[in-house]
Amino acid sequence: MNAPRSSRPPPLQLVCLTLALGGAASAQSAQPQTGTPFTLEDALNRLDAAPSVTAARLSVQTAQTNLNAARTALGLTVSVNGNAAYSGPGTAADGTATAGSTSGAAGVNVSLGLLPWASNGSGLKTAERGLALAQARLTDAQNSARLNVAGQYFAAVLATQDMDIAARTLALRQRQLTVTQTQQGVGNATAGAVLSAQAAVQSAQGAQVQAAASLDAARRGLEAALGSEVGDVTFSTLPTTQVTLPDVAALVAQARASRSEVIGAQNTLEAAQDDLTSQQRQATLPDLTASVRYGPGGAAA
């Protein structure tokens, strides 16, 4: 007489089935969340709020203010000065009374930079060079921010695709584990095969967690580059499959003319040339000053 078979699964099957159910629950919770489509153009439209672009734009405004002040100083400058004094009446020791008196003086100073090497003219040139350099740095900041935003955006796109691949791979490995467990139940699979299938499931789970971390890092990097939060969005713009290379010679010529490093070097050279010219002028030309005074007891010189 045969003993009745127990319907309870072996301990190894029970453990593997529990792991499989746990992996399925983990895969379901780690699926990419859907959100509002967010294109690369939407990201680039937020470049004005990027920290680096904002700082460069403020530098341009400061340089423009300095240039306006230098231009104002180059024109006619008028300043008024004066003083006044009053002494009240008094009585001397001998009884003589002294009446009160008022005295004062007023004057007007007028200055105008007539010579090309006047100090205010040098300040104007310095301000113009500073504005040109600030504008070039603003362009560099905009280009760098644009490149950074595009890189972070496509990193998020790649991480989203990795999430989808990881979810599909995990579902496949879970089905394979279920099949292997079923085969073991009928004696067509060994315990080693079940353990291998279980390891494959765990590896797929790890890949899914890594893809989720990569997506979160890319999202945070994009928010840091933009200076604002993007929220719960889906990155819908895919990279182009065909890229047309620009003219390298034209790019080099443009860089030589507009790069901030080149403009900064040109400014340094021009400032050194101005300083050399000023030193040579001071060594060869005599000091010349002129003043005009008008008023009571005034004289011209």
Select the more confidently predicted residue: 277 or 56. Answer: 56
Q: What is the pLDDT of residue 117?
A: 56
Our separate counts of H helices and E strands in the chain read 7, 6
Torsion sign over Cα 261, 265, 270, 271: positive
Q: How far apart are the C-alpha atoms of 202 and 263, rounded to whole Å?
A: 57
Number of C-beta neighbours around residue 52 at 10 A? 18
Length reported for the chain? 301
Q: What is the pLDDT of residues 256-271, one digit of tens each?
A: 777 888 888 888 888 8
Is the pLDDT confidence value at 8 over 80?
Answer: no
Element holding 144 (H helix, E strand): helix 119-185
Q: What is the pLDDT of residues 79-134, one digit of tens each?
A: 666 666 666 666 666 666 666 667 666 665 655 555 555 656 777 888 888 999 99
* Identity at 133, one-letter amino acid code: L
Nearest to 154 by CA among 236, 260, 271: 236
Half-sphere exposure (CA, 13 Å, Cβ side) for 267? 19
Residue carrying the six token digits 């859907």: 34
Residue carrying the six token digits 């030193």: 279
Is the pLDDT confidence value at 247 over 90?
Answer: no
Residues 6+ apart with CB under 8 A from 32: 160, 163, 164, 167, 215, 234
**pTM, whole model, 2 decimals?**
0.62
Q: What is the pLDDT of residues 128-173, one digit of tens each?
A: 889 999 999 999 999 999 999 999 999 999 999 999 999 999 999 9
What are residue 84's DSSP bridge partners? 104
**Cβ–Cβ < 8 Å for 219, 230:** yes
Strand ranges (DSSP E) for the chain? Answer: 36-38, 77-87, 90-91, 97-98, 101-111, 233-235
Q: What is the pLDDT of residue 220?
A: 92
Number of C-beta neighbours around residue 135 at 10 A? 18
* Identity at 178, one-letter amino acid code: T
Confidence tier at 290 by pLDDT (50, 70, 90): low
